[in-house]
Structure 1
Amino acid sequence: MVWLTEQQIGRWKRKRILMVGSFMCWLIIMFITPKVPLRHHLFADKRNFMGVPNTLNVITNFPFLIIGVLGFVLCLGGSFFNISLKGEIWGWTLFYAGIASFAFGSAFYHLKPDDNRIVWDTLPILIAYSSLFSSFLVERAGERVGLSCLILLLFTSFLSIAYARVFNDLRLCMTFQLIPCLVIPVMTVLLPPKYTHSRFWLWATAAYAIAKIQGLADNKIYNTNRYIISGHSLGHLCSAVATLLLTIMLLYRSIRFHRLGDLKGRP
């Protein structure tokens, strides 16, 4: 019993260190990076096919709609995904709802990019990231920690959008998307997984990181491939691959062990 108590204390300390470390990373990034104004709506590929402005930037959102709707339906079905806790069900359902909403919001934004429409592009993806990170924490750190963070992260999502509109600065939104890319790989290594196929977390994180790099190299990629497809459009497709990897993980994973916190209250 003494060993078990010490083990639980050690895990709790690691969780607190990771949370505090994430917050400190966010503060450091906010201080060292320059202001990113909203007026950055200049994308490399402005081609118009069949009367659709910025066609490829619009239609590359379609995979998000397919995966988001499919995942949302499977979450509601309850028997297709290997999800064992209510906190995970809420988190994953909200994640897929956010992904499906992002498909519409991003397509709407790219039809005519401006300061007003960018909210519909950014808010759904921030909600999806919040619920995804919450689901990850439910699995790795416990249901109470994950659900508490979900509320905090959703509040931060809306705060980030408000900050961007009031101060004309996207840094809070951008760092909010960056932190999970840094924290999830670290927590994947330090905290034991509840399920099998946990490597999919790392693969999905890598795919998303590549997508962000492609978005930053929008013009360079577009020029390099002789104006076939831009970095931003490729970023959409690579982000969709990340969500697909997570969906495959949910379909094929199985429980490795039950945590003590998960067994409380069960007969």
Structure 2
Amino acid sequence: MAWMVTQQLAIRGKTGRIWGGAFLCWVLLMLVTPKISHSPNHHHYADMRNFLGVPNTLNVITNFPFLVVGVLGFVLCIQGDFFNISLPGEVWGWALFYAGIAALAFGSAYYHLKPDDSRVTWDTLPTMIAFSSVFSSFIVERVGEKIGLSCLFALLFIAFLTIAYERTCNDIRLYMMFQLIPCIAIPGMTFVFPPKYTHSRYWLWAAGVYLLSKFEAFADMKIYHANHYTISGHSLEHLCLVIVPVMLSIMLMHRNKKLPRIGTFKECS
């Protein structure tokens, strides 16, 4: 019993240090980086071709896989016997994650039909909901259900505040930082907190694929030129991003609870 209490205190201490470090990094970045305002250039993509009367066709239709993966994942998550989810807090997080992925299909397609500042919120908000949900699910798995659920509500609140700040102050720095948090925190916490399930390497693979998609978005025009104007880097970003929920779905299907080590039983007894 004393060992379990000690372990809980140690976990809370590690969690507090991680969140404290993240907050200090956020404050530092906000102080040293200049304001990044919306610019018309942010809405100019390499591939602006129209097919069959659909503006920016490839940037629009490459969002369709998000709808398929999001709806299927949400149904399988709610069904309860297909994914290996053992805690109610995990159900909340994963269901909201897949709902965010499905909403991203509509929000991103709506934005790419006519990219401008007034529509970009419908692209960013579902993304931030998905980020908040998947990160909280990771915390539920690695740290604990109560902490994970608290993080879910806190991150969702921060996501809406970030959107409000972006629209009010015309500054996208908070949104950019919000996207980087899971990519930095998940690999870091992977080495700090032991996994409760098998197949935990999928978390690292998903983070790597996400970073690859960001590189494709950054090299939008260069990729478009390199493949002789077949498909742009931004359209490839959409197709690469959808691999992230696919990989996490494979993880949920195949993972199993890890059995405690023998030494753990002896300490508990």
TM-score range, shorter chain: over 0.9
Match of 2:163 in 1: 161
Contact conserved, 1:30 with 1:175, CA < 8 A, in 2?
Answer: no
Separation in 1 of the partners of 2:36 and 2:227? Answer: 28
Match of 2:183 in 1: 181
- 1:149 positional shift: 0.7
- Kindly tell me the number of residue pairs found equivalent between the two proteins: 258
Measured against aligned partners, the alpha-carbon deviations of 1:42-101 in whole angstroms (never above 9, x if no partner) come to 111101111111111111111111100000000111111000001000000000000000
Letter paired with 2:91: I
Separation in 1 of the partners of 2:178 and 2:218? Answer: 17
Backbone CA RMSD of aligned residues: 1.4
- 1:3 positional shift: 4.7
Match of 2:113 in 1: 111
Structure 1 pair 140/99, CA: closer, same or farther in 2 (3 Å)? same
Q: What secondary structure is seen at the aligned counterpart in 2 of 1:190?
A: coil
The answer to whether the aligner puts 1:29 opposite 2:19 as a matched pair is no
Match of 1:207 in 2: 209
Separation in 1 of the partners of 2:107 and 2:97? Answer: 15
Unaligned runs of 5+ in 1: 259-267
- 1:220 positional shift: 1.7
Contact conserved, 1:26 with 1:179, CA < 8 A, in 2?
Answer: no
Match of 1:263 in 2: none
Query: Which residue of 131, 144, 147 maps to 1:145?
Result: 147
Letter paired with 2:25: C
Measured against aligned partners, the alpha-carbon deviations of 1:189-209 in whole angstroms (never above 9, x if no partner) come to 110001000000000000001
Match of 1:132 in 2: 134
- 1:257 positional shift: 4.0
- 1:141 positional shift: 0.8
Stretch moving more, 66-75 or 249-258? 249-258
Separation in 2 of the partners of 1:142 and 1:257? Answer: 17
Match of 1:240 in 2: 242
Unaligned runs of 5+ in 2: 261-269
- 1:31 positional shift: 2.9
Letter paired with 1:198: S
1:17-96 matched pairs, under 5 angstroms: 17-39=17-39, 40-96=42-98
- 1:5 positional shift: 4.0
Separation in 1 of the partners of 2:231 and 2:26? Answer: 32
TM-score for the superposition, normalised by structure 1: 0.93
Q: What secondary structure is seen at the aligned counterpart in 1 of 2:191?
A: helix
Separation in 2 of the partners of 1:67 and 1:42? Answer: 28
1:6-21 matched pairs, under 5 angstroms: 6-21=6-21
Separation in 1 of the partners of 2:73 and 2:176? Answer: 25
Match of 2:100 in 1: 98
Q: What secondary structure is seen at the aligned counterpart in 2 of 1:197?
A: coil
- 1:30 positional shift: 2.7
Match of 2:267 in 1: none
Match of 2:199 in 1: 197
Letter paired with 1:222: Y
Letter paired with 2:22: S
TM-score for the superposition, normalised by structure 2: 0.92
